[in-house]
Amino acid sequence: MLMDPAPIEKRFESMGKVLDAARKNLGRDLTIVEKILYSHMDPATDFSKLERGKSDIFLDADRVAMQDATAQMAILQFMSAKIPEVAVPTTVHCDHLIQAHTGSAEDLKAAEDTNREVYDFLRSAAMKYGMGFWKPGSGIIHQVVYENYTCPGTLMIGTDSHTPNAGGMGMIAIGVGGADAVDVMTGQRFMTRMPKFVGIKLTGKLSGWTASKDIILKVATMLTAKGGTNKIIEYFGEGARSLSATSKGTVTNMGAELGATTSIFAYDDNMDVYMRKTERDAVADLCKKYRELLVSDPDVEKNPEKYYDEVYEINLSELEPHIVGPHTPDLGRTVSQMKADAEKNDYPRDLSAALIGSCTNSSYEDLTRSVSLARQAKKAGLKVKSNFLVTPGSERIFQTITRDGIMKDFEDVGATVLANACGPCIGQWKRDDIQKGDKNSIISSYNRNFAKRNDGNAETLSFISSPEIVVAMAFGGSLNFNPMTDTLKTPDGKDFKFEPPQGEVYPEQGYASKDSGYLAPTNSGEVIIDPKSERLAFLEPFPKHDPVADYKDLKVLFKAAGKCTTDHISQAGPWLKFRGHLDNISNNLFLGAENAYYEETGKGHNVVTGKVDELNKIAREYKDKGIGWIAVADENIGEGSSREHAAMEPRHMGCRAIVAKSYARIFEANLKKQGVLPFTFDNKDDYNKIQQKDSIAIEGLDKLQPYQPVTMVLTHEDGSTDKIKVNHSMNEGEIQWFYAGSALNYVGSQKTA
Ligand code: F3S
């Protein structure tokens, strides 16, 4: 077993006392979400003061999981803190960088060649710093975590937005940026917002064509793609307990499509069975022993309105199969309404591809139910009409379904089996069947369907449904086909109609468990980075600044006009491949930003030379000449993704401070961590006072006090001056980060002191 039960037991032992105190403090019973959150906070917290949707909370995580795209910078940062070993169990999963093209074996080989330097780096760093390493081809992060590391009542963070998949196993699992992962790996708490609570009561039981996927497609349609923001969605009731553990994972996985902090089901017998089937008896025994800690208290189900901010109810017995899309997961309708909708909107009816599997729907239950339909069709002599691609979620699942003949039956009807990796789910799909710009429809059992998400083609309309519906529609080949009612012609001219799917939750012979692609850490060896690499570079700790001398005569690099998101600061797309190389990726700094002093996006004046240039080039020249600079911004700078590069790049290129009307919360936190001062205007109109050729001095930084304003002196080109008051939200600890040069410098100095 890969999971050590000892820390879990310790956690459970201490949980009871904290929860008794929380019940007293709040004067009521607790939901399972509250139980997990409160028991992972500082026990001295006054829980009654926490405002849902508003307060920042600081949580101890039990575990970290990272995928290969986001792990690179997170590990490089961790290394710069010079700590010998990660503070909590951590795993690295190589799943995002494998491109789907011709099929599993060739694609895997191509990925190993193309990404060798990244894999070598991740593996060698994982070995040295005590992280578990899952090789390319071992599976998709969320499926591998589900099979090996899930444990009710615990709290995990993952550097991938579908980390909430693990909520299906009764844990709080939150998708975060790399900077949060580094906090936890270096032994600190990570910050998030105290969520609001949504309770969804499930009654009845699934049957026939309806699958757990339909629950989340229905919820997405009901609550919309923004409906989960800063909320945790909890599923409860008899219907919730009737779902298999893996079905629950599908539901919580796609809570990410609503923007939810996470989603969860409380512990139940089905979770116990799953842990035992996946050979984790010791953890299952612990959960059984501490059962009452891992479920909501009795009054919660009786009076849900008292505990949740919003309550909804879905009757599983009446739920119909759904299809959502295109381009958004909340554009839903029942399968029976699809034909009319396709006609009304003139969606291309022919389905160019049907895809099943991924991290969302790779369970044995999903695949046996799906293959039961493929077998019916095979018996009738039918083959799929659409391209049919199967992405197994893990090597364990792949070996199991190969052994049990499921893979062969899929292949017999025309399926191509892809590597156990993300592939088309994250745009790693090289299609030869259509050209960019060709309008076409596809249907998948994946989770995300934004334009361009699967194949990079904005003209691909991506629909999502359960794997059962997707497989059946691959035979129909059209959005017009309703597998529950329509018939297909067999080669000998007979009418064929599908019977409802049937499957098994668990393999009768158990899961296959040959080499699953895992490497245990050795806590030895050296980290491998080719010094000539363009994709990876060691990260040196950021230099400390003198709080007086280094904050005089600062230049204004630019002033953002209107929106300035993390994409404006650090573009994605072709730059993604430099995520592990801070100096190279910094060449995209502010490329997308609108400068109030210059009409062309991403450009400005070099006030030292008078030349017009790209902002990143100006910043680099200032840096090379030892000139510090600031950037000025309007409202909500840094909204969008949580990528830490948006704060690291300015720091690397010599930015001392940003002064804005307001900040996106995560960006502001990331600036503090990297040692860039995030100021806000005390008087928002002062935004207009800062001129392009100003020389700026920031006073009082040697005596910086928590939450106390400081003065910025603007010396204008004509020699006149303005003094403006700027505020900050740094507490005592964050001020120490600033003095140390960055949070990691500070943490490293404490650990080695
Ligand atoms: Fe993300 Fe990979 Fe799943 S891309 S959605 S983890 S298949």
Instruction: Assign 3-class secondary structure to 626-637.
Output: CCCEEEEECCCE
Distance 444 CA to ligand 1 centre (A): 13
Q: Is 422 in the pocket of ligand 1 (CB under 6 A)?
A: yes
Q: Which residue puts its alpha carbon closest to atom 7 of ligand 1? A: 422
Pocket test for ligand 1, best of 250, 253, 358, 448 (most atoms within 8 A of CB): 358
pLDDT tens digit string along 26-84?
999 999 999 999 999 999 999 999 999 989 899 999 999 999 999 999 999 999 989 99
Per-residue pLDDT for 1 more than 90?
A: no
pLDDT tens digit string along 414-461?
999 999 999 898 888 999 999 999 999 999 999 999 888 899 889 999
Which atom of ligand 1 is the closest one to the Cα of 142?
Answer: 6
Is omega for the bond preceding 326 within 30 degrees of 0, making it cis? yes
pLDDT at residue 753, as a whole number: 59
Active site includes 448? yes
Token readout for 150 is: 């899930």
Spell out the CATH class of 5-315: alpha beta
Q: Does domain 549-752 have CATH number 3.30.70.980?
A: no
pLDDT at residue 103, as a whole number: 86
- Is there a common fold for 5-315 and 322-488? yes
pLDDT at residue 450, as a whole number: 86
Helix (H, G, I), strand (E, B), or coil: what is residue 640?
coil
For 39, list phi and psi in degrees, rounded to 5. Answer: -75, -5
Query: Taking all residues of the chain, what is their mean pLDDT, rounded to a whole number?
Result: 95
Which residues in 221-343 belong to E strands, given as ranges? 231-236, 262-265, 310-315, 322-324, 332-334
State the amino acid at position 108 in one-letter form.
Answer: L
Q: What ipTM is given for this predicted complex?
A: 0.96
pLDDT tens digit string along 522-581?
999 999 999 999 999 999 999 999 999 999 999 999 999 988 998 899 987 778 789 999
- Percent of residues, the chain, with pLDDT higher than 90: 90
Distance, first Cα to last Cα, the chain: 36
Q: One of 29, 160, 268, 330 is an active-site residue; which one?
A: 160
pLDDT at residue 302, as a whole number: 98
Q: Is 358 in the pocket of ligand 1 (CB under 6 A)?
A: yes
Distance 422 CA to ligand 1 centre (A): 5
- Percent of residues, the chain, with pLDDT higher than 70: 100
Q: Is 162 in the pocket of ligand 1 (CB under 6 A)?
A: yes
pTM of the predicted protein model: 0.92
User: What is the distance between the alpha carbons of residues 469 and 484, in angstroms, rounded to a whole number?
Assistant: 9
pLDDT at residue 752, as a whole number: 65
Distance of alpha carbon 508 from its chain centroid, rounded?
Answer: 33
Confidence of residue 641 (pLDDT cuts 50, 70, 90): confident
Pocket test for ligand 1, best of 92, 96, 140, 397 (most atoms within 8 A of CB): 140
Could you tell me which of 355, 581, 323, 587 has the C-alpha nearest to residue 454?
Answer: 355
User: What is the distance between the alpha carbons of residues 112 and 704, in angstroms, rounded to a whole number?
Assistant: 50
What is the CB-side half-sphere exposure of residue 479 using CA atoms within 13 A?
Answer: 32
* CATH code for the structural domain at 322-488: 3.30.499.10
Which residues in 494-628 belong to E strands, given as ranges? 495-496, 518-519, 555-559, 603-605, 612-614
Confidence of residue 413 (pLDDT cuts 50, 70, 90): very high
Arithmetic mean of pLDDT, 290-310: 98
Q: Is 97 in the pocket of ligand 1 (CB under 6 A)?
A: no
User: With contact defined as beta carbons under 8 Å apart, do 410 and 374 qualify?
Assistant: yes
Q: Is 516 in the pocket of ligand 1 (CB under 6 A)?
A: no
For the chain, the domains span 5-315, 322-488, 549-752
